């Protein structure tokens, strides 16, 4: 006579889950270390001039873009519209909406210092589950912006035009760091990003390609503003925005300076 169906506990299952995680993680870490020298051989940098350097890394830039799915979309009309949020003694803040590609409209916060310019400009990119309002310092709860030290508005007060585009995720209501957008709040943290990424994979794309193209379009928008010095456009990103700074900094040649705050890690030294 057979016994009852087995009832396994967490004590039975958790070690197996941990073992599988460590197996994948250890394998990937070995691959990162073993391929470090091989990756270096893929670069044939020519430092004889700026033009020569740009040409020498062009193939690497193309491979990086292809790795995330490419940018197959046309850079059509931006069709921007703006709505003023506030005007102070030093700047005017607005919400701007522009077309990234096809019918995808993106909103961003734009802060313009008073004066004639031309001004340098900074694309300020927020992190995971955060928002343009937070990185600019425009929230009703100081804790919401604590990680960013109000970098957006501080840059504007120092004479920079600032644009802070929205990436997937963000908080809502009066709670800090609600895991998801309103329609997905009952789901697990990160569901919004995961849902977009999974659907993108079905058409040979990634969420990185979608979002970095949208950020590149923000550079298009900055270049359309008469008060912006197109030769002085940079990017500052924190956390997931720091990842965007590293990747878009490699893909977008119009960026003259890039700051990645967090995200970066030298795996070969771990």
- Whether 3 is in a domain gets the answer no
Collapsing DSSP to helix, strand or coil, 177 comes out as coil
- Whether 76 is in a domain gets the answer no
- Whether 2 is in a domain gets the answer no
Q: In total, how many domains does the chain have?
A: 2
Where is the domain boundary, 67, 96, 112? Answer: 67
- Whether 73 is in a domain gets the answer no
Q: What is the mean pLDDT of residues 181-203?
A: 72
74 neighbors 101 (Cβ within 8 angstroms): yes
- Round to whole Å and give the CA distance between 57 and 234: 20
Tokens encoding 246: 């590293």
- Round to whole Å and give the CA distance between 169 and 131: 8
Same domain, yes or no, for 117 and 235?
yes
The greatest distance separating any two alpha carbons of the chain, rounded to the nearest whole angstrom, comes to: 90
Where is the domain boundary, 19, 36, 67? Answer: 67
- Whether 250 is in a domain gets the answer yes
pLDDT in tens, 57-89: 999 999 999 999 999 999 999 999 999 999 999
Same domain, yes or no, for 90 and 61?
no
Q: What is the mean pLDDT of residues 201-230?
A: 96
Statement: the pTM of the whole predicted model exceeds 0.75? yes
Residue 178 has pLDDT above 50, yes or no: no
Same domain, yes or no, for 190 and 167?
yes
Is the peptide bond prior to 18 cis by the omega test (within 30 degrees of 0)? Answer: no
- Whether 230 is in a domain gets the answer yes
Least confident residue range of 24-28, 73-77, 106-110: 24-28
Which CATH number fits the domain that encloses residue 146? 3.40.50.1820
| Domain with 106 in it | 81-269
CA distances from 219 to 90, 157, 213, 231 (A): 23, 20, 10, 11
- Whether 74 is in a domain gets the answer no
Give the confidence band of 20 by pLDDT, cuts at 50, 70, 90.
Answer: very high
Same domain, yes or no, for 175 and 41?
no
Angle at which helices 58-67 and 240-251 pack, to 10 degrees?
A: 130
Q: What is the reported pLDDT for 196?
A: 87
- Whether 4 is in a domain gets the answer no
Q: What is the reported pLDDT for 229?
A: 97
pLDDT in tens, 220-236: 999 999 999 999 999 99
Give the confidence band of 180 by pLDDT, cuts at 50, 70, 90.
Answer: very low
Interacting residues of 178 by C-beta distance below 8 A, sequence separation 6+: 129, 170, 171, 172, 185
């Amino acid at each position: 006579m057979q016994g009852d169906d087995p009832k396994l506990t967490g004590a039975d299952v958790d070690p197996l889950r941990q073992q599988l995680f460590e197996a994948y993680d250890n394998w990937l870490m070995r691959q990162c270390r073993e391929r470090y020298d091989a990756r270096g051989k893929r670069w044939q940098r020519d430092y004889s001039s700026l033009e020569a350097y740009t040409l020498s890394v062009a193939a690497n830039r193309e491979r990086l873009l292809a790795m995330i799915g490419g940018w197959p979309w046309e850079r059509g009309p931006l069709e921007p519209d703006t709505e003023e949020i506030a005007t102070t003694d030093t700047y005017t803040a607005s919400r701007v909406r522009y077309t990234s590609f096809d019918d995808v409209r993106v909103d961003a916060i734009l802060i313009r210092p008073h004066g004639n310019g031309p001004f340098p400009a900074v694309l300020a990119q927020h992190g995971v589950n955060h928002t343009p309002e937070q990185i600019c310092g425009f929230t009703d709860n100081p804790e919401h912006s604590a990680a960013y030290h109000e970098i957006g508005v501080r840059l504007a007060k120092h004479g920079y035009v600032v644009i802070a585009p929205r990436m997937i995720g963000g908080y809502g209501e009066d709670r800090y760091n609600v895991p998801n957008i309103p329609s997905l709040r009952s789901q697990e943290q990160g569901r919004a990003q995961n849902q977009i990424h999974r659907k993108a994979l079905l058409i040979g794309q990634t969420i990185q390609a979608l979002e970095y193209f949208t950020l590149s379009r923000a550079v298009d928008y900055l270049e359309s503003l008469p008060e912006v010095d197109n030769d002085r456009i940079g990017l500052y990103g924190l956390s997931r925005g720091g990842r965007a700074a590293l990747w878009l900094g490699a893909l977008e040649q119009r960026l003259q300076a890039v700051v990645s705050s967090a995200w970066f890690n030298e795996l070969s030294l771990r």
